[in-house]
């Protein structure tokens, strides 16, 4: 039986990269997918995520969403529930970065990164939890939240001040939600990817940065979006029992070295 049969999942930032991979993996396992992003066009090129899901026989919807806007997040979750009946899994993935240190970071850059990476996650977690509390539990669980953090939330990366601070905040946000709402049957975990090769432009794919990551990662290859998608599938499934408040490293052993 598919691991997510009869589940309804929302993934933010789902048009590209990790969000795209997670959405496709969930759909393969039977989930009804709500694809949320500011644009439907993938950075990597190719068909939109929802089109690929439907090509594979899955079902879902695309809802344009800027998670930095409460009204957008409210409309996202209300729309998903109105169309599909409930919400079982909320994956908060959408994020932005500036690759600047403290002195280089402008007030505008700081405000925008925090608006998306911290306030946006707060909005999504809050609105999803409100929905979960209105639902009857399935087994022990009313709903599951999965926040995409980063190894940069665990250790500092030079010249990555706003992003690193925001991801460290997400780790603590995850723990707080897990503790506050365990009694409600709400599960909240995070995934901290290491170096994952995606179509994201900019310094993330700088050849020197890639070479450093290869040297620093014990596993003999760098990460791929499917690696994060596999972890997200486990945490979304009924296999993940008695696990909440965890920040799961998916980093090829980087943090263990």
Measured distance CA(48)–CA(253) in Å, rounded? 32
Tell me which H or E stretch contains 167.
helix 161-181
Strand-pair category, 32-37 with 8-12 = parallel
Of 76, 62, 190, the C-alpha closest to 131 is 76
Both tokens of 250, joined, read 């998916």
Strands (E), 135-238: 143-148, 186-193
Cβ count within 10 A of residue 18: 29
Active site (annotated) includes residue 163: yes
Q: Which of 26, 97, 123, 163 is catalytic?
A: 163
Q: Which residue reads 């975990």 in tokens?
A: 189
- Residue numbers annotated as active site: 163
């Amino acid at each position: 039986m598919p691991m997510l049969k009869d589940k309804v999942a929302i993934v933010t930032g789902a048009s590209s990269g990790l969000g795209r991979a997670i959405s496709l993996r969930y759909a393969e396992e039977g989930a009804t997918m709500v694809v949320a992003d500011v644009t439907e066009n993938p950075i990597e090129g190719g068909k939109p995520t929802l089109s690929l899901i439907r090509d594979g026989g899955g079902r879902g919807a695309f809802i344009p969403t800027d998670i930095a806007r409460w009204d957008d997040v409210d409309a996202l979750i209300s729309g998903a529930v109105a169309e599909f009946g409930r919400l079982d899994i909320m994956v908060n993935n959408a994020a932005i970065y500036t690759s600047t240190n403290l002195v280089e970071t402008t007030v505008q850059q700081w405000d925008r990164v925090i608006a998306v990476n911290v306030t946006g996650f707060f909005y999504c977690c809050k609105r999803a939890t409100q929905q979960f509390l209105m639902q009857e539990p399935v087994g022990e669980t009313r709903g599951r939240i999965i926040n995409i953090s980063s190894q940069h939330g665990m250790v500092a990366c030079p010249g990555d001040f706003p992003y690193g601070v925001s991801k460290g905040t997400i780790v603590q946000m995850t723990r707080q939600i897990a503790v506050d709402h365990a009694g409600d049957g709400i599960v909240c975990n995070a995934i901290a990817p290491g170096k994952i090769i995606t179509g994201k432009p900019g310094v993330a794919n700088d050849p020197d940065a890639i070479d450093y990551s290869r040297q620093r990662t014990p596993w003999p290859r760098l990460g791929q979006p499917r690696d994060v998608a596999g972890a997200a599938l486990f945490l979304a499934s009924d296999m993940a029992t008695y696990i909440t408040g965890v920040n799961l490293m998916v980093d090829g052993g980087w943090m263990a070295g």
